């Protein structure tokens, strides 16, 4: 109730209705009498969203919403974000790629306080299409590749490593062109913006 009063809900019935609506929307109504100290991390995140929803805002800004949550709570919280985004704008600030790919229809990438990309997920993926490669080879071969290209990931496989990396052109004969992920495209945009700087 104190949070509802601070949000400008002075009438007791308006407060009760707003609190019930917000707690039901984030699936915490049944926990309304539970002390917050007993809440899990995910429940606390949902309570924060409920506080935001008390006054039915048109824009909600969420910073690192799934950081520190277990996998089940992450999925639940992403579903909640998708639900509350109906009828309002939700701005999500995160470095967790799964949050972006499962929750967003438009993406903005910032670099040192400047917006360097804005568009749909498909437009973001398109920026890196034709530039993401994979090579499987011995540790020595993959190390030489890593010295010349921006490595995205390395996976140990039988007989060596599988390396995923960025390159504008085919880097080596055994390299295979692969479809970019959201993370690949993010790294490509950041790398290409860094290369443009004087």
- How much is the pLDDT for 15? 78
| Mean per-residue pLDDT, 96-101 | 80
Do 133 and 87 sit in the same domain of this protein? no
Residue 127 to residue 130: CA distance in whole angstroms: 9
- Total domains present in the chain: 2
Strand ranges, E, within 28-149: 59-63, 89-93, 106-111, 114-120, 132-137
Do 12 and 88 sit in the same domain of this protein? yes
Say if residue 196's pLDDT is above 70: no
- How much is the pLDDT for 119? 95
Q: Does residue 92 lie in a domain region?
A: yes
Angle at 53 (CA atoms; ends 49, 56), nearest 5 degrees? 155
Expressed as residue numbers, the domain containing 55 is 2-104
67 CB neighbour count, 10 Å cutoff: 13
Q: What are the structure tokens assigned to 163, written together? A: 């390396």
The β-bridge partners of 106 are 120
Report pLDDT digits (tens) over 143-184: 888 888 888 988 888 878 898 999 988 876 688 999 999 999
196 CB neighbour count, 10 Å cutoff: 8
Report pLDDT digits (tens) over 1-52: 555 555 556 677 777 888 888 898 888 999 999 999 999 888 888 898 888 8
Q: Does residue 12 lie in a domain region?
A: yes
The last residue of a domain, from among 69, 104, 139: 104
* Confidence (pTM): 0.73
Do 92 and 140 sit in the same domain of this protein? no
**DSSP 3-state of 156:** strand
Asked if 12 and 46 touch (Cβ cutoff 8 Å), the reply is no
**DSSP 3-state of 70:** coil
- How much is the pLDDT for 110? 87
């Amino acid at each position: 109730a104190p949070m509802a009063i601070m949000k400008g809900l002075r009438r007791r019935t308006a407060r009760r209705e707003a609190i019930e609506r917000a707690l039901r929307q984030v699936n915490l109504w049944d926990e309304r009498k539970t002390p917050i100290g007993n809440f899990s991390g995910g429940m606390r995140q949902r309570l924060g969203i409920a506080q935001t929803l008390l006054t039915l805002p048109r824009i909600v800004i969420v910073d690192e919403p799934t950081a520190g949550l277990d996998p089940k709570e992450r999925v639940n919280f992403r579903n909640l974000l998708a639900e509350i985004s109906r009828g309002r704008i939700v701005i999500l600030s995160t470095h967790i790629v799964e949050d972006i790919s499962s929750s967003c229809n438009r993406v903005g990438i910032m670099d040192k306080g400047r917006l360097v990309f804005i568009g749909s997920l498909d437009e973001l993926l398109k920026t890196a299409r034709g530039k993401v490669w994979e090579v499987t080879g011995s540790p020595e071969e993959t190390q030489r590749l890593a010295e010349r290209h921006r490595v995205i990931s390395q996976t140990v496989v039988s007989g060596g490593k599988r390396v995923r990396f960025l390159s504008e052109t085919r880097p080596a004969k055994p390299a295979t062109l692969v479809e970019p992920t959201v993370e690949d495209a993010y790294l490509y945009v950041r790398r290409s913006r860094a290369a443009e700087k004087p």
